[in-house]
Amino acid sequence: MKLKISPSRLCGEVKAPPSKSYAHRCLICAALAGGESRIIGISDSEDMLATLDCVEALGARYDKCGDTVTITGRRGKTPEGAVLRCRESGSTLRFMIPIALTGARVRFEGTPRLLERGIGIYEDMLGCKGIKIKKDEGGIELCGALTTGEYVLRGDVSSQFVSGLLFALPTLSGDSVIKVLPPVESRAYIDITLGVLRSFGIEISEPEPNIFTVRGGQRYEAGEKTVEGDWSNAAFPLCAGALGGSVTVSRLSFDGSRQGDREILSLLRRFGARVVQNGDSITVSHAPLHGTEIDATQIPDLVPVLATVAAVAEGKTVITGASRLRLKESDRLCTTRDMLRALGADIRDTEDGLEILGKPALTGGVTSSFGDHRIAMSAAV
C-alpha cells in the first residue's frame, strides 16, 4: 500500500477512536465474568479482533454488532488444545497467557514479528512454577495451571506482564502477591488494569507502592461498559494541529482518565503550541515551536509523533527513557529516525532515546512505515 500526502493546513474536528487499552481489558474481564456483558466502543482493528478470537478460544461467546460487543462469559476451564491466535497484538498475547493456564495444553500463534518479540519474563517465571513451555516457528505452546503465590517482576519491561497476572490470579482459590521492582515504567497502564478490574467487581490492594495483594476466590461481575476515547491515537491529529493548523479532537476523558498518554497536552504546551480545552474536546493550534527535553519512561507510545513535532521545532529536542521502543512492532527508535531522516529531519538515536535538531521545514520525500502503524501515522503527520 502506498500513500501520497501533499502539504496542507489541517483544520477541523475529529472524534477520538475508542481506547484499545481499555477495550482489551473490558473484553477480557467480560469473558471471565458470569453472565452477559455489553461493551460499547469496540473497533474493527486487528488487535480487537485478535482479543475477540482469543476470548472465544477460551470458551466465552461473543456477538459484535457495530461497535458493541455482547459477551457471555466462559464456563469452566480452558479447552484442551485451544489455539489462541493473537495476530500481531502483543497486548493480547501477554494478557491471555496467565488467563489460559488452567491445566490444559494451549497454543498461542501470531505474526513472525510478534513471536520474535516473545513472552519475555513469563518464560522464567512460569517455568519455575511448573508450566511447560515449548516454542516453534509458528507459535508458543504451554501446558499447566497457574498457581497462587508470590510473583516478582521487573518494572522496566512491559507492564502487560503485570496486567496478565492481575487478570488471572483473583480467580484462583488462594491469595497471591505481585511485586513489581523499580523503576516501574508505564505505571499508567497498570492503573488502567486496576480500574477496569474494579469496575467488574475485582478488588486488588496495594499496601506498598507497586506491591499488589490479590485475594483469591473472587468473581467477575458482568455489566455494561463504555470504552473511553484513546489519548494515544488522539495525539496524532493534535500534533498535526500544532504543526500548522487548528485541530479539535472530541470524545476525550480528562480528569477521570488513567491514560498516561494524556500527557500529550502538557508536552505540546512545552513545545509552544496553543492548547485549549472545552468540555470533552481539545483544540491545538499552531504557534512558533521550540525544542524541549522529554522523559518518555511513562509515555513510550508518544515518541514517534513527538519526534515529528520536534523535527520542525526551533532548537534541540532530547527524548530519553525510551529504550523499550526497540522491542515494539519495529525498533521504533531506529524506524522513527529513518522515517524522519528520509523526509529531511536532522535526527539521531541514542541508547535510550532520540536527539532532534529542529528545522524550519522538512523537505518531504519517500519513506517507509516499516510495517508499524505508529510510524505510518507519524509519517503522515
* pLDDT on residue 257: 86
Adjacent-strand bridge partners of 95: none
Beta carbons within 8 Å of 188's beta carbon, 6+ residues apart? 258, 259, 260, 261, 298
pLDDT tens, position by position, 220-266? 999 999 999 999 999 999 999 999 889 999 999 987 789 999 999 99
* pLDDT on residue 75: 86
User: Active-site residues: which are they?
Assistant: 301
- Give the DSSP H/E element, type plus range, for residue 196: helix 187-199
* Mean pLDDT in residue range 360-367: 94
Question: Cα(371)–Cα(339) distance, rounded to whole angstroms?
Answer: 12
Question: Cα(45)–Cα(51) distance, rounded to whole angstroms?
Answer: 10
Above 90 in pLDDT, residue 186? Answer: no
| Inter-residue contact 191 to 166 (CB < 8 Å) | no
Percent of the chain with pLDDT over 90: 87
* pLDDT on residue 64: 97
Opening angle at CA 15, ends 11 and 18, nearest 5: 145
* pLDDT on residue 266: 96
* pLDDT on residue 273: 97
* pLDDT on residue 24: 97
- As a whole number, the mean pLDDT across the chain is 95
Above 80 in pLDDT, residue 42? Answer: yes
* pLDDT on residue 210: 97
3-state helix, strand, coil in the chain (%, to 5): 35, 30, 35
* Mean pLDDT in residue range 76-96: 95
pLDDT tens, position by position, 261-298? 999 999 999 999 999 999 889 999 999 999 999 999 99
pLDDT tens, position by position, 132-169? 999 998 899 999 999 999 999 999 888 999 999 999 99
* pLDDT on residue 117: 80
* Numbers of helices and strands, H then E, in the chain: 12, 22
